[in-house]
Amino acid sequence: MMKWETLRERLSRTLHTPFTLERFPKAEWPRMKTEKVPLRSYVDGTKLYFWLSEMETHMEVLVTEVNQLSDREQELVFWILQENGCSPQSSHSAVSQLTQLLTQQFQNGDRAEKSIPKEIYKALHLPQMAIPIWIQPRSELSLNQDELQRILESFIEGKSLVANVASYGCLLVVAVDALDLDADESERISLMNFSSAIQGMLVSELGVEVDVSAQLPILVESQLLSSVYALRQTLLVGRQFYPQSFIHMPWDLHVEHLLTQIPQSFVDEFVKSLGEYVSNEEDEEMQVTIAAFFATNCNVSETAKRLFIHRNTLLYRLDRFKQETGYDIRNFQDAVFIRILMLLDKVTKTNS
């Protein structure tokens, strides 16, 4: 316990809050008996316990009164403890090993085309086929990792695995039957609805906004690591092109994915030579109109409805666009060109 004394003293002094060092019965620490990652902190009555280290029969914990710390201060303590090597992630459960694999993968920028090691896969007790969902908070500060994990576990009602990958985000592996797929609905729509539900639920229950991307069922053992890599990429691309949206599905972002592969210098040249009107920020009304037109599959009535304008007003705007640019986006070829031009323009703005 001596090695934690300096840390305890500094935290007490900095946060003006008394902390004590104690031993906590190992078996009573939440999730110690399961394969899931034990909690980083634990509230019992008025006391708040922070995990320091795991001994043979007990845990070393840092204790304070629960009402002494705000959520942000708690997050700060977690971060300080993590920096000092105190994290339940270091336990040798299968989930924490998977978490470590993912963390390494993210740190190395590795595409991870490999399978999960057999012994870890077996210990995870996952079905052969499952749905991976990647959840990434918009603001790291506001996230209480343990609470996120607890809520997600309740939401899926045990038919899943939740792996919290530190500051990167959270992986949910859901059994296919948990989605309660509707025969009348495609898997993609079901998955989209489920992802939206997760996003909405976390806003309501935790006050945290997250981006979510999900994949159709995969073979867990051989495809999970590469799927997580792909989902993170999808989420990054989705955020780059559609920052207002929280749900990013791989099948909706094929073109955007391709466009991110084009060298920026080429994009700059291209947009500059052709896209002066499209990139004109001052004509926001036209930008919004065109975006809505594309979002409704170039359907005039639907676009007018979505923009709360009269159909004739929309037609007038489209005609004006044609007059000013020479492109009629009711024509398929022109629509494709303008769509790509607008996406490239978005990438340029995001990158700059």
Partner 1 sequence: MAGVRLEHVYKRYPGSTEASVTDFHLDIQDKEFVVLVGPSGCGKSTTLRMVAGLEEISEGNLYIGDRLVNDVAPKDRDIAMVFQSYALYPHMSVYQNMAFGLKLRKVPKDEIDARVREAGKILGIEHLLERKPKALSGGQRQRVALGRAIVRQPQLFLMDEPLSNLDAKLRVHMRSEITKLAKRLETTVIYVTHDQTEAMTMGDRMVIMKDGFIQQADTPEECYNHPLNTFVAGFVGSPAMNFMHGTLAEVGGDVRFQTQNVDVVIPEGKAKVIRDKGYVGKEVIFGVRPEQIHQEPVFLEAYPTSVVTAHVEVSENLGHEMILYLDGIGNTTMIARVDGRAGIKEGQTIKLGFDMNKIHIFDKSTEKNIFIG
Residues that bind partner 1 (CB under 8 A): 70-72, 142, 151, 154-155, 178-180, 182, 184-185, 190, 193-194, 196-197, 199-201, 203-209, 284, 288, 308
Nearer to partner 1, 94 or 152 (CB): 152
Shortest distance in whole angstroms from residue 291 CB to partner 1: 12
Nearer to partner 1, 84 or 190 (CB): 190
Shortest distance in whole angstroms from residue 204 CB to partner 1: 6
Shortest distance in whole angstroms from residue 183 CB to partner 1: 10
Shortest distance in whole angstroms from residue 230 CB to partner 1: 24
Instruction: Please tell me the distance from the alpha carbon of residue 122 to that of residue 295, in angstroms, as a whole number.
Output: 44
Six token digits for residue 142 = 């506001």
Percentage helix, strand, coil for the chain under 3-state DSSP, each rounded to 5:
55, 15, 30
Strand, coil or helix: what is 134?
Answer: strand
Nearer to partner 1, 308 or 332 (CB): 308
Which residue, among 248, 272, 270, 243, has the nearest Cα to 259 in the 3D structure?
Answer: 270
Residues forming beta bridges with residue 44, ordered by sequence position: 47
186-200 as b/e, with b when 16 or more CB fall inside 10 Å?
Answer: eeeebbbebbeebbe
Nearer to partner 1, 26 or 305 (CB): 305
Asked if 18 contacts 39 with a C-beta cutoff of 8 angstroms, the reply is no
268-288 as b/e, with b when 16 or more CB fall inside 10 Å?
Answer: eebbeebbeebbeeebeebbe
Shortest distance in whole angstroms from residue 207 CB to partner 1: 2
Shortest distance in whole angstroms from residue 219 CB to partner 1: 22
Nearer to partner 1, 245 or 333 (CB): 245
User: What number of other Cβ atoms are within 10 A of residue 70's Cβ?
Assistant: 10
Nearer to partner 1, 167 or 190 (CB): 190
Instruction: Please tell me the distance from the alpha carbon of residue 289 to that of residue 304, in angstroms, as a whole number.
Output: 9
